[in-house]
Structure 1
Amino acid sequence: MAERRKPLVIVTRKLPDVIETRMMELFQTRLNLDDHPMTRAELEEAVKTADILVPTVTDTIDEALLNQAGPQLKMIANFGNGVDHIDLRVARNKGILVTNTPGVLTEDTADMTMALILATARRLSEGERLVRSGQWTGWAPTVMLGSRLAGKRLGIIGMGRIGQALARRAKAFGLSIHYHNRKPVHPEVEQELDAAYWESLDQMLARMDIVAITCPRTPATYHLLNARRLALLKPTAILVNISRGQVVDEATLARMLQRREIGAAGLDVYEDEPNVDPKLLKLDNVVLLPHMASATLEGRIDMGEKVIVNIKTFADGHQPRDRVLEMMF
């Protein structure tokens, strides 16, 4: 009996060594050893030849690219949870299965969200820059005053896995938990988190001291925090975004931070990554991170293992557990 042909898997970015080694053992695998972001031409060649494509958030898998795909491309095993860079409708119409890696980054991302809340409220980046600049002259009663977290109101936009994990951390810091979601979470979860549901995002925004964005990027959440909604925030409010840059009108946010119409922001994502609005780069009341909320070695390995399981399950003729059916907020 002939041995079943191993699928050709093309990986668009460098993955942890242990994951790449396992992929090479299980599949015909083409790796991106120098980790350069693939050009459009390289992506076109990949979809024309691969049985399975393993892209990341840096790859735009849009309608035009998918229309270049050969009939052999049957699966896109995304290395990451968010799939806003993939045209799911076109993939579905062409019979291409899409999977992602949910759940494994929840704790890492929630940790970083809490870190950004602390960093903005207590001005950690400003203090660190002050010391490095050589301009620090010693302790003084009114220097580098930040804001106490205990007793403040935290509004979480998107109460999925990450939102709930953030709420658990924030509750331990004495924050009052509020959230906006498509629908309320299970009553037992609300009770555990002592969380208050706001059906109206506008009303919640106007009353929060800190707002954290943890919802996915979908057509419905594009510029969810537009100029009108940003204007609802208190002038002392802190905004933290670890979701996707497109959820916030970045130009308006930068302008309002510059004018001190919003107190501070902690950003891990941007509208046009890796480009950042030049105004943000000049501001002291913003903590800027390079899309690293999920960046732990353990998390990346867990992601890779999920990708491998999804591919192996599909190659064996079964439906992968992590197939993406829809993305809604």
Structure 2
Amino acid sequence: MDWTGRIDGHEEDVLRIHQVIRVKSFEELLNVDINERKACFVSFNSDEGIRRNNGRTGAAEGWKHLKLALSNYPIFDNTLKLYDLKEPVDVISGNLEEAQKKLAYIITELKKRNFFVVCLGGGHDIAYGTHNGILNYAKTKEKNPKIGIINFDAHFDMREYKEKGANSGSMFLQIAEDREKDGLHFDYNVIGIQRFANTKRLFDTARKFGVNYFLARDIEKVNELNINPILHRNDYIHLSICTDVFHVTTAPGVSAPQSFGIWPSQANRLLNIIAETDKDLTLEVAEISPRFDYDDRTSRLAANFIYQIILRHFKVEI
């Protein structure tokens, strides 16, 4: 997909993302200067996990609308280079598992080359690929890496999957079972849980695996003291934003809209703290379904968060 947008000129102080972003093949990205300050967008073209989970499909087009929403944002630091993986990771013939493996491989290799990786979904099944990419990279440095997952989500996404197959509601149970099997660190934290959008079994599963969660109704109780310990006890942070966590009026274009979702301003305060961490951070955004979106409202909201997180992580002054 081409990045397009408004052009106010070609001087450095009027440039926008679509004018400077470098769209490259995977092989070309592997040859980029490892010492650059840089971020790379990786797109995941998938509705398969949502289909398997009996959700409202449409998120496969989400990454395209995210790029359109990001295109017009202004450039504040020309030393921070922005890249885009030319080809999205596709789910071919319904083979979600193979696409997740491919995504994981791409993330691992990009992180080896010092990219700040931003994954654009697609369904939230993107998270299994993202996490394994982080894990495989981290294991090149230590045997039992400490990876903290911070997921803004209305759901635990810890559904049973062995009968119907992996899906957009099972990823974090898969990760938990993988880590338990391998005897590795598992630190999962969910912000924005809806009490009535999760069964008792899901709450019990979360407790079984020691999941730290905050209900959407208690979002104001989540302050810096709640977030900072997660950052301090981990060396790698997997930040996942499922757009169904937000109130339906601000994020209508999702698979499962929430009448009592959290407000963007509530999430913004916490995301800023996470973005400014000096730990190894990887970001993903999922579940934007453009066919249900009014005026691209959900894409615009998510794009704002994405760009703000990038700038804060690289300490760009505005």
Q: Do both share a fold (TM > 0.5)?
A: no
| Larger helix percent | 2
Normalised TM-score (structure 1)? 0.34
| Larger strand percent | 2
Normalised TM-score (structure 2)? 0.35
Higher relative contact order (CA 8 A, sep 6+): 2
